[in-house]
Amino acid sequence: MFTNTFTQLYRLLAACLLAVALAACSQDAEMPDSSGDVEAEAGSEAADEAVADEAAAEPEPYVFDRPFVAPSPPLTDLVGRGEYLVEGIAGCGNCHSGRDETGELVEGLEYAGNFVIEEPIFTAYAPNITPDPETGIGNWTDEQIERAIREGIREDGTLMGPPMAFAYYQDISSTDMAAIIAYLRSVPAVNREVPESIINMELPPAWVEPVTEPVPDIPPSDRLAYGRYLTHTIGHCTQCHTPLAEESIGDFSRIGSGMNLYPAPFGFEWSALAANITQHETLGIGAWTDDEIKRAIVYGISRDGRELLPFMGYSYYEKVSDEDLDLIVEYVKTFPPSVAEAPVAEEH
C-alpha cells in the first residue's frame, strides 16, 4: 500500500544525496570524509606512502582494552534498563541533546533538543524530549510518546519527517519501550524552545503499519536474534550503514555496505560517508579482528588508526556492556560481503 509513496520518497532521497555529494565534492576538496582524503594525504609524501601502504596491509596487532562495563540492569528495573539503552546503544542524545556551534554536546542540555540536519527536502530539528511540560514532552501520555518513537506520529496526530529510525524502533520490545519512556521521564526538565522541522517533500501516509500488539522481549541467550535486536532495532546501525533502496527503507540485500552521505551533520563543516561494514575483505571489515571492530564502535578509531568522524555516537556506545558489545560484533560479522556505489566522485 505504501510502496508507491516509498518509491517516490526514496528516489527523491537518493537523488538528493547524490546531488549534495557531487556539489560537496566539486566545491570542497578539503572534505575529510573517508577514503578520498586519506589517500590524498598518504600520496602527499612518497616516503610516507610506502609506510602507509604497508601499515594498511597489516596493522599492528591491537588488543581492545577498557574498564569492565557491567551488564544491563534487569528488565524489571525500568528506569535502570531505560538509562542503559538510551545512554548506550540507542544513543538518542546523539540527535536529541544540545550542541554548540562546533557540533560538540553541551552539558546541561541533555535531551533538550536542537540537533539540525539540513537537506534540500527537509530541515529537521530534534525536539526537546525532557519532561518540561511547556517545551518538552512532560504533558504527553506514555501512549503518545510510544507512538512518536515507534510510528513517527506527533502528539497532535500529524506525521513526522525523517531521519528518526521509526522503521527500526517499531520492533523495540514493549518492556524496553516502557523502560525508555520511564528513563526519559526521569531526566532533568530543561525549558528550551526548539524550532519545528521544515519538510519540503511529500510524506508517505505512514512510516510503518500501526503497532497494535505488545512486542515480545528477545532472550539474550538467543545470541544472534538478540545481537540483531541491539544492532538493528535499537542501535539502528544498519540505518546509516545500508544503502537506501528505491522501494524500501534500506536495500537489505546489501545490508552493511554503507555509502550513505550525510552532509554537514549537527552543523559540522564536513560530510560523513557511512563505511562499508560487511565482510568484504578490502572494502569492508572482513579482515578486521573483533578487537578492531570494537575499537571502531567504542573509540571511533578505524583499523588503520585513523580517527573516525564524530557523527556516529561513539560516546554512547562506550556504555554498552562487554556482553552486549560481543553480541553486536557477532551480528555485524554476519553481513555478507557486498558493495554499494559511493556517491563521491573518485577524482581527488
Binding site for ligand HEC (CB under 6 A): 34, 90, 92, 94-96, 124, 126-127, 129, 137, 145, 148-149, 154, 160-161, 163-164, 180, 197, 231, 235-237, 240-241, 272-275, 277, 285, 293, 296-297, 302, 308-309, 311-312, 317, 328, 332
The β-bridge relationship of strands 261-262 and 122-125 is: unpaired
| DSSP conformational letter for 262 | E
Q: Which amino acid is at 156?
A: D
Minimum distance from residue 325 beta carbon to ligand HEC (Å) = 9
DSSP assignments along 118-155, one per residue: EETTEEEEPPP-SS-TTTSSTT--HHHHHHHHHH-B-T
CB nearer ligand HEC, residue 47 or residue 346: 346
Q: Which residues pair with 119 in a beta bridge?
A: 122
Among residues 46 and 154, whose Cβ is nearest to ligand HEC? Answer: 154
- State how far the Cα of 92 lies from the Cα of 88, in Å rounded to an integer: 9
Please tell me the distance from the alpha carbon of residue 181 to that of residue 171, in angstroms, as a whole number: 15
| 340 within 8 A of 258, measured Cβ to Cβ | yes
What pairs with residue 125 in β-bridges?
A: 116
Q: How distant, in Å, are the alpha carbons of 24, 120, 190, 289 from that of 51?
A: 30, 42, 51, 21
Q: How far apart are CA 231 and CA 207, in angstroms?
A: 20
Give min distance, CB of 18 to ligand HEC, in A. Answer: 17
Q: In this complex, which beta carbon is closest to ligand HEC, that of residue 46 or of residue 115?
A: 115
Amino acid at 19: A
The residue among 3 and 200 lying less far from ligand HEC, judged by its C-beta, is 200
Cα radius of gyration (the chain): 20
Query: Using CB atoms within 10 A of its CB, is residue 6 exposed (0-12), middle (13-18) or buried (19+)?
Result: middle
Rounded to whole angstroms, how far apart are CA atoms 169 and 150? 5
Task: Residue 312: name the closest of 252, 246, 266 by CA.
Answer: 266
Q: How far is the CB of 333 from ligand HEC (least distance, A)?
A: 10
The distance of Cα 137 from the centroid of its chain, to the nearest Å, equals: 23
Min. distance of Cβ 241 from ligand HEC in angstroms?
A: 6
Would you say 47 or 296 has its CB closer to ligand HEC? 296
* Rounded Cα gap, residues 281 and 337, in angstroms: 8
- Closer to ligand HEC at the Cβ: 264 or 296? 296
Which of 46, 210 has the CB closer to ligand HEC? Answer: 210
CB 89 within 8 A of CB 180: no
In angstroms, rounded to a whole number, what is the distance separating the alpha carbons of residues 338 and 278? 6
* CB half-sphere exposure, 307, CA atoms < 13 A: 3
